[in-house]
Amino acid sequence: MTIRHATETDLPAIVAIYNAAIPSRIATADLEPISVESRLLWFKARSPSQRPLWVIEVEGVIGGWLSFQSFYGRPAYNTTAEISIYIAPHFHRCGLGRQLLAQAISESPSLGLNTLLCFIFAHNQPSLKLFETFGFQHWGHLPKVAEIDSIECDLVIMGLRIIDIFTD
């Protein structure tokens, strides 16, 4: 397995993995597939030195990705980033999410990050457990803020103080 910075040629695979998560209704609030074109600006907003987008390859096949997103878009939050992880269905439970998350935590200081956040549906138990395993704590609960297929869903905010890990 190899983790590397995504290139624009990876974007169709990244979008395909994201779109594969939509029908499950547990990992994204998008309800319809997105297009590669609609993700071009999102992709171009990524920076390997500040807000990277990584892919993880297994024998030359992109099995998942992790992105860092600026939190709240104000300068005072520059040391905080939201992370998202998506794994292709046929690579679920193969440890790819663990590898991506471990690298995100270890690389965060070099990216100038002190805090990582993630926003996870409360019914997405696999993701909640993954992040808890790495020490993320529940920092917030937003009840019934999303509606998916006429069902109101809660959102959990999880956080990890990276700076505390590396200064203890």
Q: Which domains does the chain have, with CATH numbers?
A: 2-167 (3.40.630.30)
Q: Is the dihedral of CA 95, 114, 29, 67 positive or negative?
A: negative
Question: Over the stretch 74-97, which tens digit does the pLDDT of each residue have?
Answer: 999 999 999 999 999 999 999 999
In the predicted model, residues of the chain with pLDDT beneath 70 are 168
pLDDT value of position 166: 75
pLDDT value of position 117: 98
pLDDT value of position 56: 98
pLDDT value of position 168: 60
pLDDT value of position 165: 82
pLDDT value of position 7: 97
Strand order in the sheet with 137-148: 2-5, 53-58, 61-70, 80-87, 115-121, 151-161, 137-148
pLDDT value of position 2: 97
d(CA 2, CA 124): 26
pTM score, two decimals?
0.95
Question: Over the stretch 55-75, which tens digit does the pLDDT of each residue have?
Answer: 999 999 999 999 999 999 899
Neighbours of 88 (CB within 10 A): 21
